[in-house]
């Protein structure tokens, strides 16, 4: 059985976009930096695109965990892998040929992540698990930070972890949305091992201390 790491990935959606380098340096104790790309089509919000991700890649001391909430993943996901981002996650709902997108991301040297919205069932994506390195189970509707964790996604996380263990697949399970001191333990217990937190980390008075607290609460 592969050992599954526990990773804390702060989301810079809650950072100060005029001071991204400073705010990325502030989370240097974390594991990866989570970068939310939104296009105002797949989700009703707009953030940053390729040129900004390229610069973040150049200045970040941490590897990049890019979360694409954009249409036409088939066209765009490979472009983000080409930035040198170490992980690129696309939404299965936005891809015409998800297996091909995942293979393309891997071919370009990044880890391939695939995200599912709360309404997407595990059964719909089960056959794609051998193609990916990480499954992102969204625990809010994608689009905005600061929303409440959806406990009804916990059974999906448990089912995914059981399926992966049974098939001996080395796939990380990421949770994103509403992760905080109050919710991270439940997500970890269900089987998640990669934890994205935006408002909980950037809203904390002591960012390194908050990262440490979340890490200790996430460890099984
Ligand atoms: C939301 C984004 C998240 C967001 C999470 O669609 O994908 O990464 O930053 O924010 P919090 O942790 O505040 O729920
Ligand atoms: Zn995200």
pTM higher than the cut 0.75: yes
Domain ranges of the chain: 7-218
pLDDT at 214: 98
**Which pLDDT band, with edges at 50, 70 and 90, does 3 fall under?**
confident
pLDDT at 117: 98
Average pLDDT (37-64) is: 98
Cβ–ligand 1 distance for 6 under 6 Å, the answer no
- Which residues are within 5 Å of ligand 2 (an ion), measured at CB? 36, 67, 176
13-40, pLDDT tens digit by residue? 999 999 999 999 999 999 999 999 999 9
Which has the closest alpha carbon to 85: 37, 142, 28?
Answer: 37
Asked about 72 being catalytic, the answer comes back as no
Q: What angle do CA 115, 118, 122 make, to 5 degrees?
A: 65
Q: Which CATH number fits domain 7-218: 3.20.10.10, 1.10.10.1100, 3.20.20.70, 3.60.20.10?
A: 3.20.20.70
Query: Which of 23, 31, 36, 133 is flagged as catalytic?
Result: 36
To test the pocket of ligand 1, the residue of 17, 36, 40, 87 to mutate (highest count of ligand atoms within 8 Å of its CB) is: 36
- Ligand 1 centre from 36 Cα, in Å? 8
To test the pocket of ligand 1, the residue of 38, 40, 144 to mutate (highest count of ligand atoms within 8 Å of its CB) is: 144
pLDDT at 2: 65
pLDDT at 145: 98
Average pLDDT (58-68) is: 98
Q: What is the number of other CB atoms lying within 10 angstroms of the CB of residue 175?
A: 30
Which has the closest alpha carbon to 105: 134, 125, 137?
Answer: 134
**Which pLDDT band, with edges at 50, 70 and 90, does 11 fall under?**
very high
Average pLDDT (45-64) is: 98
pLDDT at 220 over 90: no
**Which pLDDT band, with edges at 50, 70 and 90, does 219 fall under?**
confident
36-46, pLDDT tens digit by residue? 999 999 999 99
Asked about 176 being catalytic, the answer comes back as yes
138-166, pLDDT tens digit by residue? 999 999 999 999 999 999 999 999 999 99
Whole-angstrom Cα distance, residue 28 to residue 61? 7
161-210, pLDDT tens digit by residue? 999 999 999 999 999 999 999 999 999 999 999 999 999 999 999 999 99
Query: Which of 23, 31, 133, 176 is flagged as catalytic?
Result: 176
Cβ–ligand 1 distance for 145 under 6 Å, the answer yes
- Ligand 2 centre from 67 Cα, in Å? 5
Could you give the strand order of the β-sheet that contains 7-10, starting from the edge strand earlier in sequence? 7-10, 194-197, 172-176, 134-138, 111-116, 87-91, 64-69, 33-38
């Amino acid at each position: 059985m592969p050992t599954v790491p526990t990773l804390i990935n702060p989301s810079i959606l809650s950072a100060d976009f005029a001071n991204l380098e400073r705010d990325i340096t502030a989370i240097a104790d974390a594991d990866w930096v989570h970068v939310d790309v939104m296009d105002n089509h797949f989700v009703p919000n707009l953030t940053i695109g390729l040129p900004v991700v390229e610069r973040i890649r150049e200045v970040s001391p941490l590897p990049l965990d890019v979360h694409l909430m954009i249409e036409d993943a088939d066209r765009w996901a490979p472009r983000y892998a080409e930035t040198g981002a170490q992980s690129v996650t696309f939404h299965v709902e936005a891809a015409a040929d998800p297996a091909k997108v995942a293979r393309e991301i891997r071919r370009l040297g990044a880890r391939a992540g695939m995200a599912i919205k709360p309404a997407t069932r595990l059964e719909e994506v089960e056959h794609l698990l051998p193609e990916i390195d990480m499954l992102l189970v969204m625990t809010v509707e994608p689009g905005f930070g600061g929303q409440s964790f959806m406990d009804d996604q916990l059974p999906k996380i448990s089912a995914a972890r059981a399926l992966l263990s049974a098939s001996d697949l080395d796939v990380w399970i990421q949770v994103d949305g509403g992760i905080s001191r109050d919710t991270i333990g439940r997500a970890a217990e269900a089987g998640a091992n990669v934890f994205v937190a935006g408002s909980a980390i950037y809203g904390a008075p002591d960012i390194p201390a908050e990262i440490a607290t979340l890490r200790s609460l996430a460890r099984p």
